[in-house]
Amino acid sequence: MSARSTALHTDRYELTMLDAALRDGTAQRHCVFELFARRLAGGRRFGVVAGTGRLLSLIEDFRFGEDELRFLRDNRVVDADTLDFLAGYRFTGWITGYREGELYFPGSPILTIEGSFAEAVVLETLALSVLNHDSAVASAAARMSIAAGDRPLAEMGSRRAGEESAVAAARAAYITGFGATSNLEAGRRWGIPTMGTAAHAWTLLHDTEEEAFRAQIDALGTDTTLLVDTYDTPQGVETAIRVAGPGLGGVRIDSGDLPAVAAAVRTQLDELGATSTRITVTSDLDEYAIAALAASPVDAYGVGTSVVTGSGTPTAGMVYKLVARQGTDGSWTAVAKASTDKGSKGGRKAAFRTLDNGTATTELIAVSDGFEQVDTPSEHPDSRPLQVQLVVHGEADAAYEGHAGVEAARAHHSRVREELPVRGLALSRSDPAIPTVYVDAEG
């Protein structure tokens, strides 16, 4: 039993469905659930899968210990037989999905969860809470990374999110192109480089700006970055170079009309002989503000609120639906929700990205009404297969977890983003960069 159970990170109706299924005998029916997005949130042109490695570890901790069972018993959530079942709960099924860092589009089968109804249905809330949050952050961060080009990005939004959401957001941003985070727990837990020097409080603590700068230089050396806009920015720049010399590592600007201020600061630094001193800008940046600074003499960006909140789109809008189940006679049936504007497509799916000279053209999804009949790469030689095996018989592939999993996801995202067509790089609201096309499985 893990010291930290995730079993109650779920909605009550997951357990009441389980309770009823155990009563009527359907709990052990083999089922296929699918996690996908009907559309791309915020009118964006692509989404980025993030949170998969976290989810795999959280599923390993999905155990009902005495505390969890006592809570369910005291609140009469389920009956005694269901409590007995939950006491021995372990996910022993299979999970297939897109690699973390992969791009996704409407209908992409981001995760496919196979197992008994009892085992798989209770994972819905946990899977959606992780992937909806992390993928929203990653999708926003990827757009910021595209806008920044070769200029470094640092995530510094912990104060604008819940304490655990902040750690998850730092991880998602790192996967999609940010180079560092201010969050030390994210550094410890996920191996992300950390950064940070001083805030305005440091300058205000001292009797003069010069005293604050001298103390920071004494502590951190001349390669540090001095925050120059607490009082008067031109005076702050002059003081910074006078104290540190022309070899000062950097200055940070956190206010004002950033393109104009950055240009003025660059001119002043050059006139003072500090031609190699870098300029970092912060101050409520998002992908649009970063793009507007493309022609400005800025060397690096620090992004806070916008990245940890998905830049106005805090959830990816993913859903978790039953798409196939075994009947009482053992045969397989594709099932789907048919509600207006909320429909799903039944059947087990294999996903491929069709490429033309290395550029993505189609999200190709082969749909099977059966269970074993699933397309393989040999049926789609001009495409790249998108799904990998993440969990087999309840055992997660450790390659996708921990520090190594984060680095692998970051490298994978860097590679696959190169496949986007040029129109996919634009920041304006539009249709997805490539269409999703469904075909009947051939295999």
Domain boundaries, the chain: 12-137+313-440, 148-306
Which pLDDT score, from 0 to 100, does residue 330 have?
84
How many residues can be counted in the chain?
443
Q: Counting beta carbons within 10 angstroms of the beta carbon of residue 292, is it exposed (0 to 12), middle (13 to 18) or buried (19 or more)?
A: middle
Query: Alpha-carbon torsion 346, 351, 353, 354, what sign?
Result: negative
Dist. CA 16–CA 361, nearest whole Å: 43
Phi and psi at residue 239, in whole multiples of 5°? -65, -40
Orientation of helix 124-148 relative to helix 163-175, angle to 10°: 50
User: Which tokens hold the place of 255?
Assistant: 């206010």
Same fold, 12-137+313-440 and 148-306: no
Which pLDDT score, from 0 to 100, does residue 370 have?
64
The class that CATH gives domain 12-137+313-440 is alpha beta
Which pLDDT score, from 0 to 100, does residue 1 have?
36
Q: 432: left (phi > 0), else alpha (psi -120 to 50), else beta?
A: beta
Dist. CA 322–CA 320, nearest whole Å: 7
Q: For 130-185, what is each residue's pLDDT tens digit?
A: 999 999 999 999 999 999 999 999 999 999 999 999 999 999 999 999 999 999 99
In single-letter form, the type of residue at position 365 comes to I
Strands 225-227, 153-155: pairing is unpaired
Which pLDDT score, from 0 to 100, does residue 443 have?
52
> Is residue 1 classed as helix, strand or coil in its secondary structure?
coil
> Is residue 238 classed as helix, strand or coil in its secondary structure?
helix
Which pLDDT score, from 0 to 100, does residue 372 have?
63
Beta-bridged to residue 333, according to DSSP, are 325
* R_g of the chain, CA atoms, integer Å: 25
Which pLDDT score, from 0 to 100, does residue 212 have?
98
Query: Alpha-carbon torsion 50, 53, 56, 57, what sign?
Result: negative
Give, for 237, the enclosing helix (H) or strand (E).
helix 233-244
* CB crowding 397-409: b at 16 or more within 10 Å, else e: eeebbeeebbebb
Is residue 37 within 8 Å of residue 317, measured between CB atoms?
yes
In single-letter form, the type of residue at position 391 comes to V
Contacts 24+ apart (CB under 8 A), 355-361: 355/382, 355/383, 355/384, 355/419, 356/382, 358/418, 358/419, 359/419, 359/420, 359/421, 360/103, 360/419, 360/420, 360/421, 360/424, 360/433, 360/434, 361/421, 361/434
Which pLDDT score, from 0 to 100, does residue 379 have?
86
- The three state secondary structure string of 108-174 is CCCEEEEEEHHHHHCCHHHHHHHHHHHHHHHHHHHHHHHHHCCCCEEECCHHHCCHHHHHHHHHHHH
Q: For 255-307, what is each residue's pLDDT tens digit?
A: 999 999 999 999 999 999 999 999 999 999 999 999 999 999 999 999 999 99
Beta-bridged to residue 286, according to DSSP, are none
Opening angle at CA 424, ends 419 and 429, nearest 5: 160
Low pLDDT (below 50) residues in the chain: 1-2
- Nearest Cα neighbor of 419 from 362, 364, 360 is 360
Superfamily of domain 148-306: Aldolase class I (3.20.20.70)
